[in-house]
Amino acid sequence: MKVGELRPGMLLAQAVRDVNGRLLMGEGTCLTERFLGVLKAWGIAEVAVQGEKTCSLADAGDGLPESLAARAQEICAVRLSRCDLANPVVQDVFHLAVARVGHLLEKGAPLVPPTLAKPGDEGSDLAPLDMEQLATEDLPMDAMPEVLARLAQIMENPSASPAEAADIIQCDPGLAAKLLKMVNSPLYGFPQRIDTISRAVTIIGVQQLSALALGVTVMGVFRSIPKNLLDTRQFWLHSLACACGARALASALGLPNTERYFVGGLLHDVGQLFFFLHVPERARLVLAQVRATGESLQSAERRCLGADHGQAGGTLLAAWQLPASLVQAAACHHDPLAAPAPQDATIVHVADFIAEALHFGSNGQSVLAPLNTAALGMLHVPPGVAAQVAARIEEQLGQLESIFLGGS
């Protein structure tokens, strides 16, 4: 159908891309006046629509005041415009997002629909970064706490004893205290207080507690990033939400060692921090472009930096000789089917999508990257899993924020 003949409420039957193949709107997007304007601005002549069908997501936000529901729907429609809204899980996330955004608006949160515009060419003339060199020379292993390498070895050694793990963790009193706070939190819900690392290792497991300790240790490496460059609290809040969501999703799928997925979620965006440590002005340019145009974070990073934050994070964690599951989760969380063993990366990918869609913190993305529905299909998720994961994040995020971020 010609763009001039479209009306608000129509549903796209196929994804819309620009002349360079860049995804503008996903299949199933409910057209609004804003989206019609975007199609005209990009010079799109025709699109495929599902006849005269009214958007099936129009009831999102039931229970909210009508004006709030309309504003929340508009915000979420733009933020999820690159997603396949015909997919049942994406539809569930859309409904959850509208409800949460509506409540945030009710509390006075300054949320508005992201700007959609053609990306410029800023940064395209800059030399691409040499990720291997930066990872091995600019932030060498000897800059890391010694405990990191030892924890990585424990995680990969199924015969490691609880005493070995406890000895390593107890070498860092701050780390030990944070882990004890965590295992005594509602995240685990143990009926009796756990007072020692030795007991925590025995109850939770050697690999499991070592994985948590490793994640906490890596967080500490990036504490020096200035807040005027990046809202690090919002960044880590999003990472904690992703971690919590990944753990909940793994649990819903009946997978063992869910702490591994928690740490994969916690560290999935570490490549962004790596950029802000080494090329802060270029990293700031990337975020400015993303916020001004709605361009995907990965696309802006590749243009301005020569690599995206997934590639950067994977390269960094590999240089630190961390377990392959964590390397792949970081490297492939936006393209999980590219991972040699895609399950871990897919779980983090889905949790990342839910956390970002529902405004649990932010990594700076204004319009979300699409959920990879092919990878999602490989997980065989049960019905209602998005609501289950979102509920777990909402229940536990405040406590995790207190433990990990305190008053920072």
pLDDT in tens, 256-281: 889 899 999 999 999 999 999 889 99
| Mean pLDDT across 286-312 | 93
Q: What single letter denotes the amino acid at residue 251? A: S
pLDDT score for 83: 93
Which pLDDT tens digit goes with each residue over 201-249? 999 899 889 989 988 888 888 887 888 888 999 999 999 999 999 999 9
What average pLDDT is seen over the chain?
A: 87
Residue 141: pLDDT over 50:
no
- Mean pLDDT to the nearest integer, 84-91: 92
pLDDT, average across residues 380-408: 89
* CATH of the structural domain 131-144+224-404, one choice from 1.20.960.40, 1.10.3210.10, 1.20.1440.120, 1.10.3720.10: 1.10.3210.10
Q: How confident is the model at residue 386 (pLDDT cuts 50, 70, 90)?
A: very high
- Paired with 262 in beta bridges are none
Residue 53 has pLDDT above 50, yes or no: no
Amino acid (one-letter) located at 338: A
Q: pLDDT at residue 361 above 90?
A: yes
pLDDT band at 143 (very low <50, low <70, confident <90, very high): very low
pLDDT at 9 over 80: no
- pLDDT, tens only, 98-127: 999 999 999 999 999 998 888 777 777 778
What is the predicted pLDDT for the residue at 300? 93
Domain boundaries, the chain: 3-106, 131-144+224-404
Q: What is the pLDDT of residue 244?
A: 95
Query: What's the confidence (pLDDT) of residue 44?
Result: 82
Contact 11, 31 (CB under 8 A): yes
- Residue 51 has a pLDDT of 58
**Cα of 6 vs its chain's centroid, Å:** 34
pLDDT for the residue 387 = 94
Which amino acid is it at 294? G
Is residue 396 within 8 A of residue 186, CB to CB? The reply is yes
Question: Higher pLDDT residue, 252 or 124?
Answer: 252
- Report the percent of the chain where pLDDT is more than 90: 53
pLDDT of residue 60: 65
CA distance linking residue 188 with residue 43, whole number of Å: 53
pLDDT at 56 over 70: no
Report the pLDDT averaged over residues 69-81.
Answer: 93
The answer to whether residues 327 and 314 touch, using CB atoms and an 8 Å cutoff, is yes
Structure tokens at 326: 């964590």
Does residue 62 have a pLDDT over 80?
Answer: no
pTM of this prediction? 0.84
Structure tokens at 117: 């515009």
Quickly count: other Cβ atoms within 10 Å of residue 390's Cβ: 24
Residues 277, 309 contacting (CB under 8 angstroms): no
Residue pair 241/398 in contact (Cβ under 8 Å)? The answer is no
State yes or no: pLDDT of 37 exceeds 80.
no
The predicted pLDDT at position 181 comes to 92
Report CA-CA distances (Å) from 217 to 50, 193, 361, 396: 50, 23, 21, 21
